[in-house]
Amino acid sequence: MPIPPAVPAVILAEPSPARPQGICGRGASCNPQNRFEPYRHDADEEWTAAEDPAPGTLILVDRSQSLITRNDSPDLPFSASLNPYRGCEHGCIYCYARPTHEYLGFSAGLDFESRILAKPDAARLLREELSAPGWTPQLLAMSGVTDCYQPVERRLRLTRACLAVLAELRHPVAIITKSQLVTRDLDLLGELARHRACSVTISLTTLDQELSLAMEPRAPVPTARLEAMRALAQAGVPVGISIAPVIPGLTDHEIPALVRAAAAAGAGFAHHTPVRLPLGVAELFSQWLAEHRPLSRSKVLNRIRQLRGGRLNDPRFGTRMQGEGVFAEQMHDLVACSLRRHGLADQAPELSLSAFRRPLGTQLSWFDP
Q: How far is CA 52 from CA 8, 55, 108, 131, 137, in A?
A: 24, 8, 18, 48, 49
84 inside domain: yes
CATH value at residue 81? 3.20.20.70
128 inside domain: yes
Q: What is the pLDDT of residue 346?
A: 94
Is the separation of the CB atoms in 176 and 244 below 8 Å?
no
**Residue length of the chain:** 369
For 50, residues 6+ apart whose C-beta sits below 8 A from its C-beta are none
CA distance 98 to 317: 19
Q: What is the pLDDT of residue 54?
A: 64
Q: By residue range, what is the domain housing residue 139?
A: 10-34+55-342
355 inside domain: no
Q: What is the pLDDT of residue 152?
A: 96
Is the separation of the CB atoms in 201 and 174 below 8 Å?
yes
Helix (H, G, I), strand (E, B) or coil at 257: helix
What are the beta bridge partners of residue 173?
140, 198
352 inside domain: no
pLDDT tens, residue by residue, 268-277: 999 999 999 9
Is the separation of the CB atoms in 215 and 94 below 8 Å?
yes
pTM, two decimal places: 0.86
Classify residue 68 by its DSSP letter: E
**Do β-strands 57-61 and 68-70 pair in parallel, antiparallel, or remain unpaired?**
unpaired
300 inside domain: yes
93 inside domain: yes
CA distance 129 to 295: 51
240 inside domain: yes
Is the separation of the CB atoms in 137 and 171 below 8 Å?
yes
Number of domains into which the chain is organized: 1
Average pLDDT, the chain: 87
* 32-38 CB contacts, 8 Å cutoff, 24+ apart: 32/107, 32/108, 32/109, 32/280, 32/283, 32/284, 33/107, 34/102, 34/105, 34/106, 34/107, 34/108, 35/99, 35/102, 35/279, 35/280, 36/102, 36/103, 36/105, 37/105
Say which amino acid occupies 277.
L
78 inside domain: yes
Mean pLDDT computed over 293-317? 93
Say which amino acid occupies 132.
A
Least confident of 4-13, 181-190, 236-245, 271-280: 4-13
